[in-house]
Structure 1
Amino acid sequence: MRARTVVIVPGLGSTPGEWDDVVDALSAEVAVLVVDPADAPPLRTRTDWTPQAVAARLAERLIGTARPVLLVGHSSGGLHVQAALYAGDGHADAGIAGALLVDASHESAVRLAPAALGAVGRAVADVVLATGISTLLGPAVRRLGVRAASTRRRDRLTPAAVRTVYSSRAWVRTTVDAWFGHGPLQAGVLAWQRERGAPTPPVRLLVGAAGSGRGRARWIATQRDLAARLGAPEPRLLDDAGHLVALDRPDAVVTEVRALLADS
């Protein structure tokens, strides 16, 4: 059955506004929901970041959403999507028609830091958060991130939108939580890949492949490894897009979503 809703899960530190061009292009054809990473409760323990816990939170956010859904995950959002794919596999009521991973996070092996070291890092982060300086630096961090991770090198968000999102304590808190949770989530997803093989719903990969040299080659190899684990076809490489694919090539995202919709 054709997917009735496209659900976009942005990556760590991102915001739904990055996806406005994609939403605008698709909204006449299908319902589109962009999950707001900043709209999350405190998630401070490793058990909050198991694939089971992440999949359950995403499922809760989708209550009332028309199904089947097509999941789109960018960067670390790709881990959330994979968690949902595996958690729902074999369950007809999961209602997942397929998934698109956009420059998704992937590591072939993960070594988690000792829990005590993680606790120290969290304590330092809490002190920094309490000073309020992180909310002052947030917009500057966003500007630097766009320049470093986009071939476009300029934001599609207005300066006012950047200030509103990246100066908020909600954005800072949830970004810190997700940063500390990334390792445990990646480790859990890798374990499910090894134990369960490729998920049943079809998966495609879209990769920001701008650049040259060994870094580019390593990233492409990493994405091909992920595709093989998920039973996906060869990733589509975008030589004119950096990591922030939705800023550089929203049209390519739309094309891949439409292809998956046609196949669902």
Structure 2
Amino acid sequence: MSKINVIHFSPLTKIMLWRENSIAAVGDWFNWSDQEDSLVKQLIKTARKEKKKSVIFVPITDENMHGFLVEKNLTEKAGYYKVDEIFFYYLHQTMRLEDDMIVANLNQFLKIDHFLLSKNFQLDHVFNEKWLEEHQNERHTFVPTVSGDKYIAKVINSLNTCNFKLFKKLTFVDFMLEGRVAEGTKKARTLGYPTANLKYDTKLPLKYGVYGVEVYIPHTDKTYNGYAFYISLNNDEFFVFETNIEKFNTEIYGWKLVVTPKIFVRENVPYTTDQNMIKLIQEDINKIKSYSKG
């Protein structure tokens, strides 16, 4: 599997990039299905024919955008196809650029000569059929792709049932959660199990409950075992995946985490007393350790 160049870029910054002329594909990459397989095959074919770089182009319009894949998954899947680059392009909602500025940025500064897209994936204010006709008329092609609906339904069902082995069989990658650590209620800390919290505005396709997980911390470049639970708060106002990281007790608010659920232990139970909860947590951890030992 080839090494992929991964770039995170905001058009609001003044960071200069040395770019080669490229062909870019825009798809629903966080929910990679048969549709994206079709698209990326056409990307590779076109880029090689024109002797240009192949780019998986990921427009980010909301920091909470997510599907059943994360950046690490995308890098692995792109590697199978020997794509040259993954480009995360951040389009800020609060400081939206004029269309002409976006066009100049894409074509002149970033040297993207042509976009390949599927009509099944279009964003609200950019990279949709109308916007492309107006601003990239000679620089885009809608590629016929197979439907990925049945495949996506199977993948989502594997997560709804916490069948992570089936998820990997279907997608060829592990299911992961990725985000920056947010501050929580600190209730788990008072029980002796401080947690790192990932918060989401939309519900994850998982059961509420307790999980055995692996935690990768890019800041330390280390992987740890963990005990986690997934809950909703404030009448589903937001959703939290809280993880106690084994043998790690450092304040990491704002740090990026990649959490890989390995086993679903049990559903959540009503809170009674601190003593009962500590006993239950220890029983959960023992089950997770037994699973890890095989």
TM-score (norm 1): 0.30
- Tell me which protein shows more strand as a share of its residues: 2
Higher normalized contact order (CA 8 Å, seq sep 6+, divided by chain length): 1
- Tell me which protein shows more helix as a share of its residues: 1
Greater C-alpha radius of gyration: 2
TM-score (norm 2): 0.28
